Structure 1
Amino acid sequence: MTEGNFVDYVKVHVSSGNGGKGSAHLRREKYVPKGGPDGGDGGRGGHVIIRGNDSLWTLLHYKFQRHFKAGHGEHGSKSRSTGADGEDVYLEVPLGTVVRETETGEVVVEITENGQEKVVLEGGLGGRGNWHFKSATNQTPRYAQPGIPGSEKELTLELKVLADVGLVGFPNAGKSTLLSVLTSAKPKIADYPFTTLKPNLGIVQYRDFKSFVMADIPGIIEGAAEGKGLGHYFLRHIERNALLLFVIPADSSDVCGEYEILLNELRKYNPELLDKQRMVAISKSDMLDEELLEEMRGEVKEGFKDIPYIFISSVSQYGLQQLKDKLWSLLNE
């Protein structure tokens, strides 16, 4: 999935259908000259319905079509025949999609299960036919109700990536390289910050045909929680991951300090993120000789007392199997 094809934020305009008119028909047959009112009800207008689909990974299919309109209800007819309901419109979205009303920002629904449905805009009710209005004093009413018109609104669809493991770190920490080595994903890799501007997903193959999903989330910078560096745009993808893997390069001036800055940004954005399982991977460890590695192990042991950590190198494949073992064990605790 190329970066341009990963669409995780769209606005769509939806309209529900009008209700059909009730009929004011009076029964007239050869041998029933005064049959009385028999006008049927109008059908209801079509609803707009959001539906979860686990075959979708992105909102790409809404990139070029932004307007959706449900069908109108048919009018009622003679013999108390009710008009057909208008055709409903279904908007299929990937799991992890949050639907908001654009104008108010209010959350309408969060789609987390395959097949989950939510009517986001109801069609107008059909009008009642004239046979509803007959009475002892008005035996041939010649009027019926009009249908209620449908409504329209603008919705914002926002995808929060669903993955087992989310990679968290500063730009250029080696997250994309790690994803490309552990999975078949082909993220863009370069030696400048913010190479990754959209999340990349990959499936990590584990022993005995088991697997788990890993997401490479664009790099976070200090101040991201206040919106710096597209902070909010990136941080929302972290909310739906079961485990957060903090990737910190071994050539960093202060590994423990970097971890604290990242943790602080998550805390400021949403304190609930700190309830998730966490692990630290110190990447680019092939740049250290044995002496430096031992020295850093001592520092890290002090700084990460309660958090599991591991030294890895995506280039030399150092520590990657142990990383997969540890991630699998944490995910299945």
Structure 2
Amino acid sequence: MVRTGFFFYLAASSKESFKKSVRRRINFTDSLRIFVSGGSGGQGYPSYGGIGGDGGNVYLQPTETQTLRGLKLQYPTKRFKAEGGRNSRRHILHGSKGNNLMIPIPNGVSVYSEENQLLGDLVNLDDRLLVATGGKGGCSSNDWNGQKGEKHVLSLELKILADIGLVGFPNAGKSTLLSTISRLAPKIAEYPFTTIKPQIGTIHYPDLRQITVADLPGLIEGAHFNLGMGHKFLRHVERTHLLLFVVDVNGFKLSSRSFFRNAYETVLLLNKELELYKQHLLDKPAVLAINKLDLPDTENIFEEVKNRLKEGDLTGIPAEMQPKTLIKFSDVIGISAKEGHCIPQLVQCVRQVIDQDPLESDNQNLAGTAPS
């Protein structure tokens, strides 16, 4: 059985086996559903006009050390309830308020309601979000009966904070590039989907400027349909300031059942996936690195890709593969991540583009650190 889609064909059995293999290997959690409840209000004391204490509230607070996986392991039930208010008593007529509950979460989490409404983005360590209010204590207005606290089911979605997001199909050389330009040594192998969780490296410049780079799980055609790691990948791209496309000069083919895409088609497909997921991603500054130019007979391919992009040439490209809006790359650079060819040029280029970005001019180093 073959599934037809936007511009790809993927065997259903192959898709399912792929998902199972990824689930077995992945140990990174970037989404989590939790239940939160404010504390119940304390009972009043009608004979003496005593007022019960209000229940505690529940807040979400970003921390540097927490991860969603760590939160899940620490609280297996994923249920959080604040302390209830104290009852009014004869000798203590005003019951004390229940303690608030602060849930530590990783920096960069978006919080959604059960109706999929965005409640807040927690992108700074001093952010705090009220997600469940405690019940009012018993008093004359509620017949001295303490009220129950708010109850909500929330979805937490982590979006990696980094200056640069590496965008490319599997085996394009993103992990090799990251290890070359930063101090991170990610797992590298000659097969697709080596990167099964986001890796964050840092480029260190002589003047102490630092730029963070996120190597994200490789996406595939149909990522906007959530195939492969589709939305896991695309979600993390949203909070990066610059997109660094990494494309194998010799093209890409996921499997024997997939179509071969040459280097130029690969760029267009990456462009299309971002466009179909969220159009505004195309407005981000972008740089294209054509990788593996250490291989024979690749200079001509590089020049052809560069010239066709400059001209916006879509000759011979099927209509279903053509993006409506072509990304305008600040630069197109031919590199060899393995041999270090033109890496210094690339490193200086991305810094120049980021520093010229008006959104970054006043806030160059707020990118968070990736959860482990």
**Does the pair score TM above 0.5?**
yes
Q: Does 1:58 align with 2:63?
A: no
Query: Over residues 90-135 of structure 1, what are the superposed CA-to-partner deviations in whole Å (9 max), with x where a residue is unaligned?
Result: 112222201112x32222211122211111111100111xxx69xx
Partner residue in 2 for 1:212 = 211
Compare 163-172 and 309-318 and name the one that shifted more: 309-318
What TM-score results when the alignment is normalised by the length of structure 1? 0.85
Q: Distance in 1 between matches of 2:72 and 2:292?
A: 38
Query: Over residues 275-298 of structure 1, what are the superposed CA-to-partner deviations in whole Å (9 max), with x where a residue is unaligned?
Result: 100110111111135xx42x2343
Query: Over residues 155-209 of structure 1, what are the superposed CA-to-partner deviations in whole Å (9 max), with x where a residue is unaligned?
Result: 2111011110000000110111111222222322222212212211111112211
Partner residue in 2 for 1:47 = 57
Give the 5 Å matches for 1:144-293. Answer: 145-252=144-251, 254-288=262-296, 292-293=298-299
3-state DSSP of counterpart to 1:259? helix
Partner residue in 2 for 1:97 = 109
Identity %: 39
Unaligned stretches of 5+ in structure 2?
1-24, 252-260, 311-327, 357-372
Whether the aligned pair in 2 keeps the contact of 1:23 and 1:144 (CA below 8 Å) is no
Whether the aligned pair in 2 keeps the contact of 1:39 and 1:80 (CA below 8 Å) is no
Partner residue in 1 for 2:333 = 310
Alpha-carbon offset, residue 80 of structure 1: 7.1
Q: 1:178 to 1:264 in 2, by over 3 A?
A: same
Q: Distance in 1 between matches of 2:95 and 2:233?
A: 49
Partner residue in 2 for 1:326 = 349
3-state DSSP of counterpart to 1:213? strand
Query: Over residues 203-227 of structure 1, what are the superposed CA-to-partner deviations in whole Å (9 max), with x where a residue is unaligned?
Result: 1112211111100011111111112
Compare 186-195 and 198-207 and name the one that shifted more: 186-195
Query: Over residues 61-86 of structure 1, what are the superposed CA-to-partner deviations in whole Å (9 max), with x where a residue is unaligned?
Result: 21211222210000123467321111
Compare 323-332 and 176-185 and name the one that shifted more: 176-185
Query: Over residues 136-172 of structure 1, what are the superposed CA-to-partner deviations in whole Å (9 max), with x where a residue is unaligned?
Result: xxxxxxx951100123332211101111000000011
Alpha-carbon offset, residue 257 of structure 1: 1.5
Compare 265-274 and 253-262 and name the one that shifted more: 253-262
3-state DSSP of counterpart to 1:296? helix
What TM-score results when the alignment is normalised by the length of structure 2? 0.76
3-state DSSP of counterpart to 1:287? coil
Q: 1:232 to 1:4 in 2, by over 3 A?
A: closer
Q: Distance in 1 between matches of 2:170 and 2:187?
A: 13
Paired residue for 1:21, among 26, 36, 43?
43
Whether the aligned pair in 1 keeps the contact of 2:290 and 2:302 (CA below 8 Å) is no
Q: 1:244 to 1:57 in 2, by over 3 A?
A: farther
The residue identity in structure 1 corresponding to 2:152 is K
3-state DSSP of counterpart to 2:41? coil
The residue identity in structure 1 corresponding to 2:72 is K
Q: Distance in 1 between matches of 2:83 and 2:242?
A: 44
3-state DSSP of counterpart to 2:171? coil
Q: Distance in 2 between matches of 1:21 and 1:73?
A: 8
Partner residue in 2 for 1:296 = 301
Q: 1:57 to 1:49 in 2, by over 3 A?
A: closer
Whether the aligned pair in 1 keeps the contact of 2:34 and 2:155 (CA below 8 Å) is yes
Q: Distance in 2 between matches of 1:115 and 1:40?
A: 37
The structure with the largest alpha-carbon Rg is 1
Q: Does 1:124 align with 2:120?
A: no
Partner residue in 2 for 1:29 = none
Q: Distance in 2 between matches of 1:144 and 1:154?
A: 29
Alpha-carbon offset, residue 5 of structure 1: 5.7
Q: Distance in 2 between matches of 1:49 and 1:5?
A: 27
Q: Distance in 2 between matches of 1:163 and 1:145?
A: 52
Q: 1:232 to 1:328 in 2, by over 3 A?
A: same
Compare 208-217 and 192-201 and name the one that shifted more: 192-201
